[in-house]
Amino acid sequence: MSGNANMNAKGATFNPGATVHTDGVGTAELHYEVIIGCEIHCELLTKTKAFCACENRYGGMPNTRVCPVCLGLPGAMPKVGREYVEFGAIAGFALDCEVARFTKFDRKHYFYPDLVKGYQITQYDLPLCTNGVVMINLARSDETPRLKKVRIERIHLEEDVGKSLHIEGAHSYIDYNRSGVPLIEIVSKPDMSSPEEASLFMQNIREILRYIGATDGNLEEGSMRCDANINLRVVENGKEWRTPISEIKNMNSFKAIRDACTYEIGRQLKEFREDRQVFSQGFKVTMGWDDARGETVVQRTKNSFIDYRFVVEPDIKPFTLSEDFIASARAKVGERPAEKRERFKREYGLSDFDVNTLTADRDLAEWFESAAKASKDPKKAANWVLAEVLAILNDRGIGLGDLKITPQHIAGLVNEVASGAISSKQAKEVFAEMLESGEMPSAIVKSRGMTQVSDSGAIEKIVDEVIAANPQALDDWRKGKTNVSGWLTGQVMKLSKGQANPATATALVQKRLAELQ
């Protein structure tokens, strides 16, 4: 059950904008608000790993992309890749963060077989980026956007760990190809108040970071993983509590985020009712999400407090980012999806739905835009892309790069129609042909002699021929039949083999009929 914000539950007030739920289970009147903060780990698309020259790529033969540094061999030392820091800064600007001019790395200690050094190189108290914002859209794609601001506390650089593979009853294997892959960790403020919002937050971050080319955002390959910190603010009989925070680790699908948070809300509510478990500072339960069973599973209880013993990474000097570096990173962000959507609407007069479709993928948006810019009628170019090009891509399961046509083909086609050289109907034929041959529309029009006849004299002749050949039609028209003009125009088009300019033909038929009244 959802109620409105600011609902007054016997004296206790909820935050403005919060969705307050009323739990119908049990006897006491109980209202609660959901509080979710997310930490998103995102692998960056740099050429090399974060601290060594090994290639940064997913998969491959286990333990083939490793060196003394990313294996943490005795004596090996990290070396910060410039591209790594640059990608971090670009991501920061893309999420409206402030990017630090002075920053450093730290070590975070824990033991796990996939962690080669017994510590992870990360950033503790001087993160690269702080104070960002993303706007998540709570409306459906065909509705007017309803935006909610989610604040980003920080983005810091860190390194990924290896991957463990446990074979039941046999051994455990570890692949260190992923060890040292550059990551950013994006930490939100606890601004989300439903599982849907948490999922939207991750979708939004993914869209932006993919757009700017910082990550491939491949969820199946674990390029992006989300941890959600969730608890409830409960008001019961005028008294207020917070339930203990659960951190659900390593979710790699939007559905998992929704399902896990939804499950966890129910679990915490039940726990609160039954055991009166409440929040205490500094402790939280770490959980995993079991997709198959559809429930969260406790990994670490609040009693086993982990002390990461942060220490300054002495092997990497603290460093200052030059204004040039910052300016270049800022410039590389380019236009973000929301900005592009606004501009497309404004410049090309497209609908929300069309814009959302065209900008869902950066390549498509850019493809469309080159067509639009080269054409005399951008809206028509949008129609061609949305109706025809996307249909072909979907039908054939291919990408834009696999097409024989380019945005210039679409622009050419639009321009052929706009200039009156060919009709829309002819345009479809040209489209079909250029799709197969890759020839420019102008060449096709020429070679097939498809030029549209707009010369009034020539068309007038055909009109006279048609009227003379169909006296019955003229009679019908004189008797007041209304659809005769259209039928006659059709005959004109047919006789001209479709080459007559339809507008001219219509006008001339109507003119001649009026004369024959």
Partner 1 sequence: MNICDMSLTELKGKLESGELTSLAIVEAYKAAYEADNKTEKPLKGYIEFYADALDAARKADEARANGDTRPLLGLPFAAKDNISIKGKPCTCGSKILAGYVAPYNATVADRLIAAGAIPMGRTNMDEFAMGSSTEYSCYGPSRNPVNRDLTPGGSSGGSAAVVAGGQAPFALGTETGGSVRLPASYCGLYGLKTTYGTLSRYGVVAFGSSLDQVGLFSKKIDDIGLALSVMAGRDAHDDTSADLDFAALAKLTPAEIKGLKIALPKEFMDAKGLDPEIASIFEKACEWFRSRGAVVETVSIPVLEAAIGCYYVIALSEAASNLSRFDGIRYGLRKDAGTGYDDLYVATRSDGFNAEVKRRIVIGNYVLSTHFSGDCYKKGMSVRARIQKDVGEVFKKYDVLLCPTSPTVAFKLGSKVDDPLAMYLSDLYTTFVNLARIPSLSVPMGETGAGLPVGIQICGPHFGEERILKIAKAWEATK
CB-nearer residue toward partner 1: 241 or 308:
308
CA 378 – CA 372 distance, rounded (Å):
4
- Helix or strand holding residue 263 (H, E): helix 254-275
- C-alpha 238/C-alpha 187 separation (Å) is 32
Q: How far apart are CA 510 and CA 517, in angstroms?
A: 11
Site string for partner 1, 152-181 (x = CB under 8 A): ----------------------x-------
Report d(CA 309, CA 391) in Å as an integer: 56
Residue whose CB is less far from partner 1, 309 or 404: 309
Distant-in-sequence, close-in-space partners of 469: CB < 8 Å, separation ≥ 6: none
Position 128: which residue type? L
Q: Which is nearer to partner 1, 116 or 459 (CB)?
A: 116
Q: How far is CA 20 from CA 9, 16, 234, 245, 517, in A?
A: 10, 10, 9, 18, 73
Q: Is residue 297 at the binding interface for partner 1, with CB under 8 A as the rule?
A: no
Residue pair 353/390 in contact (Cβ under 8 Å)? The answer is: no
Q: Which stretch binds partner 1 (CB under 8 A): 107-115, 192-200, 242-250, 270-278?
A: 107-115
Judged by CB under 8 A, the residue of 169, 314, 397, 480 near partner 1 is: 314
From 112, 221, 237, 469, residue interacting with partner 1 (rule: CB under 8 A): 112
* HSE (side-chain half, CA atoms, 13 Å) at 210: 18
At closest approach, how far in Å is the CB of 74 from partner 1? 4
In whole angstroms, what is the distance from residue 385 CA to residue 336 CA?
A: 21
Distances (CA, A) of 435 to 64, 181, 191: 42, 41, 48
List the alpha helices (DSSP H) in 80-170.
82-94
Pairing of strands 246-251, 224-236: antiparallel
Q: Which stretch binds partner 1 (CB under 8 A): 86-94, 270-278, 313-321, 483-491?
A: 313-321
The Cα 476–Cα 140 span in angstroms is 52
Q: Per rule CB under 8 A, is residue 316 in the interface with partner 1?
A: yes
Examine residue 126 and tell whether it contacts partner 1 (CB under 8 A): no
Residues 379-398 that bind partner 1 (CB under 8 A): none
In the list 17, 60, 118, 349, the residue contacting partner 1 (rule: CB under 8 A) is 118
Q: Which is nearer to partner 1, 171 or 276 (CB)?
A: 171
Total residues in contact with partner 1, by rule CB under 8 A: 31
E strands present in 381-514: none
Position among 107, 154, 225, 362 found at the interface with partner 1 (CB under 8 A): 107
Residue 44 Cβ, how far from partner 1 at the closest point, in Å?
20
- Judged by CB under 8 A, the chain residues 54 through 93 that form the site for partner 1 are 68, 71-80
Q: Does 47 bind partner 1 (CB under 8 A)?
A: no
Which part of the chain contacts partner 1 (CB under 8 A), choosing from 89-97, 315-323, 326-334, 496-504? 315-323
Kindly tell me the sign of the dihedral angle through the C-alpha atoms of 148, 153, 159, 164.
Answer: negative
What is the smallest separation between the CB atom of 189 and partner 1, expressed in angstroms? Answer: 24
> What minimum distance in Å lies between the beta carbon of 63 and partner 1?
10
Reported as type and span, the H/E element at residue 164 is: strand 163-166
Given the complex with partner 1, which of 93 and 176 has the nearer CB atom?
176
Residue type, 497: K
Closer by beta carbon to partner 1, 316 or else 507 = 316
Q: Does 353 bind partner 1 (CB under 8 A)?
A: no
Give me the residues that bind partner 1 (CB under 8 A), please: 68, 71-80, 107, 109, 111-113, 116-119, 174, 305, 307, 309-312, 314-317
